Amino acid sequence: MKILVTGSNGTLGIPLLRELRKRGHTAYGCDMAHSEDPQYIRCDVRQFRQLENIFQVVKPDLVYHLAAEFGRNNGEAYYEQLWSTNQVGTENLIRLCLAIKARIVLAGSSEAYGDSGLASLREDVLDDKVHMFHNNYALSKWVQERQVMISAKRDGLKAVILRFFNAYGEGEYYSTYRSVVCLFCYRLLHDLPITIYRNGHREFLYIDDWTRTVANVAEKFDTLPRGSNFGGVPVYNIGGEEYKSIEDMAQLVIEEIGRTVPIDKSKINYVDEEIANVANKRPDLTLAQRDLDHKCKVPLTEGIQRTVRWMQSVYGKQAFAKEA
């Protein structure tokens, strides 16, 4: 199958592209920067002409649309990119997919659920309910889904929506905008302070498990049953099975790093409640297990061990540098 992965230089794009090629697909990547990869074409998805050029070269049967502005705080700090990349970029892709009848897999987010207060999040709870959003990023990810649903209903776009929960693991390079596992590992390794919100619970999915399930979508795309939303788009939660408090997860990171490196406990701050974030997010994984052969094979203890080791190998030289 000819596949295009947008955002292919990202934490998720890199292993997905690798896996698709391993499975024998002709998989092209595109992202903002140049690359040495011969099956890669530089492209800003906000620029229709650049994307159109790729479609003319690759003529994909299927597109994984991962290119997006990512993260709550990033979305507030860079809302210009958020709305243009996530909304205009997605609309550009929708139009181009329609023109050649290519399938599209949208990288959605658990943030689309907003602050539902529900104990477990089943895909269809968003069909006609909308929950409180705390930030523009959540709103923007919810909107991407609706753009796809509108086009599926109106134009016959062939689409699948995946709602990613907390994927983590090797390959996620640190910035202050990254996921909580990445933040904790990097900052503790570098003797930087961390803040643990006691009221939060999450599940965590190791990148290898994420990659396998997401790559499965390409092969199963045409057999997936219609979704219950107004566009009939199949929607799947992609998340982990181990549901833990942020505090318990942090404890695993602390123990893992503590094996080889002394940790200054005074750098660890506990706060009862985080404002403007969703306290608890637990996916119902029934549909992904049923239709996508979704399996969580890497337990959190092992995943954190692998993440910490990867970080030590990548950041070895800079480790333990104090923050300016």
- Which residues contribute to the site for its own copies (CB under 8 A)? 48, 79-80, 83-84, 87-88, 91, 128-136, 139, 143, 146-147, 150, 153-154, 230, 275-276
- Between 28 and 197, CB nearer to its own copies: 197
Nearest approach, Cβ of 33 to its own copies (angstroms)? Answer: 23
Nearest CB to its own copies, comparing residues 116 and 312: 116
203 and 278 in contact (C-beta within 8 Å)? no
| Complex with its own copies: residue 87 or 251, whichever CB lies closer | 87
How far out from the chain centre does Cα 84 lie? 18
Distance CA 40, CA 8 (A): 9
Instruction: Sort residue 87 into left (φ over 0), alpha (ψ -120 to 50) or beta.
Output: alpha
- Residue 111: CB minimum distance to its own copies, A: 13
- The nearest distance, CB 191 to its own copies, in angstroms, is 32
Rounded Cα distance between 136 and 72, Å, is: 7
Rounded-to-integer distance, Cα 71 and Cα 268, Å: 23
The nearest distance, CB 167 to its own copies, in angstroms, is 25
Map tokens 């930030």 to a residue. 135
- Cα distances from 112 to residues 69, 77, 81, 233, 247, in angstroms, run 14, 19, 18, 15, 24
Q: Which is nearer to its own copies, 131 or 282 (CB)?
A: 131
**Comparison of 229 and 237: residue with beta carbon closer to its own copies:** 229
Using alpha carbons, select from 8, 192, 24 the residue that is nearest to residue 16. 8
Q: How far is the CB of 140 from its own copies (least distance, A)?
A: 8
